[in-house]
């Protein structure tokens, strides 16, 4: 049975989308993309923050291993002015310490806050010293991200030299 002329005409008219439908779809897609981009940027900055704290934890653990294997004290010194850290042979309070690595930058929009490590009974230092026995000057350093209240704190224990992040 051949199609009726009325149904053939209806099919020709229903073959595409109207301009209003296309504009609505493009507007919805644009809104979703804008939301995705802003969410991705926030996630990217948070991931960089976590990555910097993890990298710093690794640097401190390597400094402890270096002190034990080489049999001499190793210092990781933090600069809050430049947001960098450097690794030295010798104690952080020594005038004769020698630079091994650094200075390495923390990262864009990241900064150090309150690097405080015990350097004696009443003295503090902006760096941690690991001894050849693996012990350390206890303390902590904080990594902050601009525009966020989130703070990553890296702690070093005295007796074991254990490095932890919270």
- Provide mean pLDDT across the span 77-88: 87
Alpha-carbon distance 151 to 157, whole Å? 19
* Confidence class for position 108, pLDDT limits 50, 70, 90: confident
* Confidence class for position 9, pLDDT limits 50, 70, 90: low
pLDDT in tens, 32-70: 888 777 778 778 888 888 888 888 899 999 999 999 999
Enumerate residues 6+ apart whose C-beta is below 8 A from 99: 86, 87, 88
pLDDT in tens, 113-140: 878 787 766 778 888 999 999 899 988 8
State residue 69's pLDDT score.
94
Determine phi and psi for 97, rounding to 5 degrees.
Answer: -65, 150
State residue 4's pLDDT score.
62
- Helices and strands in the chain: count of H runs, count of E runs: 2, 9
State residue 132's pLDDT score.
93
Identify the H or E element spanning 84: strand 84-89
Q: Domains in the chain and their CATH numbers? A: 5-165 (3.55.40.10)
pLDDT in tens, 147-161: 778 888 889 998 888
CA of residue 160 relative to chain centroid, distance: 25
């Amino acid at each position: 049975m051949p199609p009726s002329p009325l149904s053939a005409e209806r099919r020709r008219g229903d073959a595409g989308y109207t301009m209003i439908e296309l504009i609505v779809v493009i507007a919805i897609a644009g809104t979703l993309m804008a939301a995705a981009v802003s969410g991705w940027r926030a996630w990217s900055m948070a991931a960089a923050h976590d990555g910097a704290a993890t990298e710093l934890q690794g640097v401190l653990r390597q400094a402890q291993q270096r002190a034990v294997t080489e049999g001499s004290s190793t210092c990781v010194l933090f600069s809050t002015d430049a947001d960098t850290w450097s690794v030295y042979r010798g104690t952080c309070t020594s005038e004769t310490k020698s630079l091994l690595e650094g200075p390495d930058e923390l990262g864009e929009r990241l900064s150090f806050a309150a690097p405080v490590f015990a350097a004696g009974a009443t003295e503090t230092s902006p760096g941690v010293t690991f001894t050849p026995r693996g012990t350390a000057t206890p303390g902590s350093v904080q990594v902050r991200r601009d525009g966020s209240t989130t703070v990553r704190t890296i702690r070093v224990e005295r007796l074991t030299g254990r490095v932890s992040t919270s």
